[in-house]
Structure 1
Amino acid sequence: MARKKLSAPDPASALKVLDTLRDPVVLLDPDDYIAFSNLEAEYFFSSSQGQLAKSKIQDFVPFSSPLLALIQQVREHESPVNEYRVDLSSPRLGADRIVDVHVTPVADEPGAMVIVFRERSMAEKFDRQMTHRGAARSVTGLASMLGHEIKNPLSGIRGAAQLLEAVVSDEDRALTALIREESDRIVSLVDRMEVFSDERPIEREPVNIHVVLDRVHQIAASGFARDIEFVKQYDPSLPMVLGNKDQLIQVFLNLVKNASEACEHRDHAQIRLKTAFRPGVRLSIPGANERVALPLEFCVEDNGSGVPEDIQMHMFDPFITTKPNGSGLGLALVAKIVGDHGGVIECDSQSSKTVFRILMPAAPAMPTEIVQPLTGEKQQ
C-alpha cells in the first residue's frame, strides 16, 4: 500500500501546529517584541495573543532575569542555547516559576529568535504531592493508635471529673469543669485525626463544580466572610468532575475560610473563585501504567498577606499551621480528599496574593438520551 505523503503546510497551518504544543513558544523580533505566541504561551503569561503582540519580553520578567542574558548571548553568537532550571519568578508571572529554556535564532531573520519554555515546577509539585500523601498516611497510623490509647482513658477521666463536680466546693468546681472541657477538646482533635484513617472508597459521581462553588459562596457570604467581596470567574463550558459533592464542598469551604482569615484585615478584602480547562496536564500515579489527565483547574485566590515562605513547602503536612489556636489538620485533610479524588493541590503565595490551585480529572462522558419535555417519550 502506497504511503500517503503530506503536502507542505501553509503558514496558517504551521501556526496551528504550534498551538498543539504543550510548551509555551514565543517568537521575538530584533527589538524583543513578541511577534508570535502559541496558545500555551497565553496560559503561561496570563495574557491574550493580542496583548502579547504589543509587549516586549522584558515586560514579563525582571530586569535581572537570566533569560535576558540568554537572549543577548544568542544574538551575539547566533547559535542556540539551552538553559535548565531558569527562575522566571516575578510579580507578573507569579512565584516558583522554574523552567527549562531553549533559545534558537531564526535563519534569515537577524536578531529574531524562538524561545521555548518547559515548566519544571509542575512536575516537582506533583512529586511534592506524593510526599503530602505519605505524610497523611503517617497520620492514619497515629490516629488509629490515638483512638484506642487516648480516647478510652479520657472517657474515664471525664466521668471522674463529673462525679467530683457534684461533691467539691464551688472553688474546686471550676477545676473539674476545666478537666471536662480539656478532655472534650482532646477527643475532638482525635476525632478529626481519625478521618485520615478512613480508607473506604469514596462514592463518586459526575458533579458540576460550579454548583459546589456557589454553595460554598452562599455559606461563606452569609457567615464568616460576609464582609468580603467575592469574584467568580467560571468557564461555563467546563465538563463535570468525577467526585463526591459533600467532600468537595468540605474542601472548598476549608480553602475559602482560610482565604477569608488571610484577607479579613485588608481594606478591600477579595476572594476569587476561578475555574478553567487546562489540557495537557498529566500525572503519573505510582503503581499505574498510564498517566492520568488532570484537565480541570479550580482556584481559590485571596489578596491577603500570603503564606510565610518557611512553611510553604510543608503547608499540606499535618500539624503545620500559622494560626495561634490551629490544629494544622485542615489543609492536610484537604490534600487527602483531593488525593482520594485522583487530583493534586498546590499553592502559589506572594505578599499580596495567595492562590490554591486544584487539578482534577473530568468525569467520563456518559451516553445521554433526549427526552420530550411533556410526554417523556424518547426521540429516535
Structure 2
Amino acid sequence: MGDPIGEDAWRQLLDSLLQQHRRRAGADPEKDPLIPPKAGATEQQLRAAERRLGFRLDPQYREFLSIADGWDGYNFGEDLLGTSDLGSGPRWDEAVESLHWFVDDIGPDAARSLRIPDDYADSYLPIADRLCLALKDTSQGAAGSIFSLYIDWGGIWPDLSSYLKAELRQMTYWTDQKVLGPHSETWGRDIRIAPPTLTDILTKILDLSATAYPDQPIQANPGAAPNALNALDHDFAGALHPEHRELLAITDGLSTPEPMLGHVLSVDDIREGTRWQTALACAQKIEDDYFGNLAAEAARTGQPPPPPKPPVRERILRIPVVPFSVLDGRVYGIDTHTGQVRELLDDAFIPGAFPGYAISYGTVRQHLLTVCDHLRGLSIANRGSHKNRTNDGCP
C-alpha cells in the first residue's frame, strides 16, 4: 500500500505541478488554459466512491483525493479521476476501456512482457485514462504502485506521489521547451534571445562528448584557410552554405563517434572524395548484407523476399548536396537548395514515403544544436559506462 505523505507534501507537489501549468498558460492561454486541481473530497464522497468500487481505497491515493478530488487536464490534456468518476460514469468507462484495450487489443505478448496478471481487471484501479493503481501485490509491483499504459509502455512507480514527481520532471522539460524555446535545457537559457555562436556550439559538443563517449575523446582541428574555402566553394559553383563554410573555418573536419555527426569531412576530404566514396561503398555492403539475410530467411520460410532499395550511388544523386559527414554506413550532405543537413540514404528513398519526404534537423547550426541535445541525454544516461559502438569496418 502507498503510505500517506501528509497534506503539506501534497500541497507542495501540487503547487509545483500547477506552476508549470501557469507557465504554459502564460505562453499560450488559448491552447493551454490554466485549470487548477479540484478541491479535496469530503469523507462522505470518499466513502461513496468506496461503496461503488466495493473496496477501501489505497491509503496514499485516498489522502490525495482528500486534497485534490481529481484534476482535469493535469497532464496537458489527460484527466485524473475524482471520487465522482470512480466506479461509474463516462470517464470511468473510458479508463476501463483503455485498460482492456491495452491488454486485449495490444495483445497477450505485451501483457506477458509487462507481467500483467490474468485477472488484471481486478488487479488494477484506473485513476486516469491510461493510468492504473495496483490493488494487490503482483510481480509488477506492490499494492499502491502506479502502472502507466502510456507511451513508455509500462512504466512502474512505487506510489502515486512518485509518479506525479516523475510527471513534474517531464512537465518542466516540455514547458521549458515551449516557454524558453528549443534546446533550452542543454543551454540553460532561451537561445532565441542569446543565440550561441558556432564556436560555442562546437565547444559544447566537445565538452558533452567527453562524458557521452569518455573512451573516445575528440578534439577540434585548426580551421581551414580562406583560400581553401574559396576553392571549395568554386568547386560547387557557389553552393557552399555559409554555416558549413563557417564551421570549416572553425575546425577543418572533426571525427566523433556520435552517429548524428560522425566524421565531419575536411575541405580536402570533400574535394578529393576518397573518404566519401569509401563510405558509399561501405553503406552498399551493409545494405547488401542486410537484404541478403532477409532473402535467405524468406527462402527458408517460403516467403517472397522483400525488394531491395535502389543502389546507394543512385539514391544519393536524388538530392543535390555538398558532402558533410560519414559514419557507419551513414552519409550526410548539405542540400544545396535548402541548406539542410540530410541523411541521404534514408531521405532519398524511404519505401512508401510521400514525395519530398525528408529527415532533417535543419541547417548546420540547427543540426549541431540537436547533436548537443542528444549528447546531453547520453551524458546523463551514460554515467561513465558507455560501451563503444561497433562500426562494421566502415569509416
TM-score (ref. length: structure 2): 0.26
Hey, which of these two has a bigger chunk of strand by percent?
Answer: 1
TM-score (ref. length: structure 1): 0.26
Hey, which of these two has a bigger chunk of helix by percent?
Answer: 2
